[in-house]
Amino acid sequence: MVSKDVVVNNGTGLHARPATLLVKKASSFKSDVSIEYNGKKANVKSLIGVLSLGVTKGAKITIIANGDDEAKAVEEIATLIANLED
């Protein structure tokens, strides 16, 4: 298992379009990938799950991956979140 903390700088947080990009990226990995925010955890391969967390701008989230390509999954998803634009 690999995890990494990331701050969401996107003005809208992880809503609609950014969440869709995140789900697409996570779905490209074999590993199970989830994010934790405010004590809640969601599967990043589920759009509803990501949206249900209500992640806002400036939020600190934890990306967690477990599986064959866990390190690559965490790094690429962290990079995607860091580079999201409004």
Q: What is the pLDDT along the chain (86 residues), one digit of tens a residue?
A: 999 999 999 999 999 999 999 999 999 999 999 999 999 999 999 999 999 999 999 999 999 999 999 999 999 999 999 998 86
Number of Cα atoms under 13 Å in the Cβ half of residue 67:
15
The confidence score (pLDDT) of residue 63 equals 98
Do the Cβ atoms of 43 and 79 come closer than 8 Å?
Answer: no
pLDDT given at position 34: 98
Instruction: With 0.85 as the threshold, say if the pTM is over it.
Output: yes
pLDDT of residue 85: 80
Q: Which of 15, 49, 56, 75 is catalytic?
A: 15
Q: Which domains does the chain have, with CATH numbers?
A: 2-82 (3.30.1340.10)
Based on the residue annotation, tell me whether 61 is a catalytic residue of this protein: no
N-terminal to C-terminal alpha carbon distance within the chain: 31
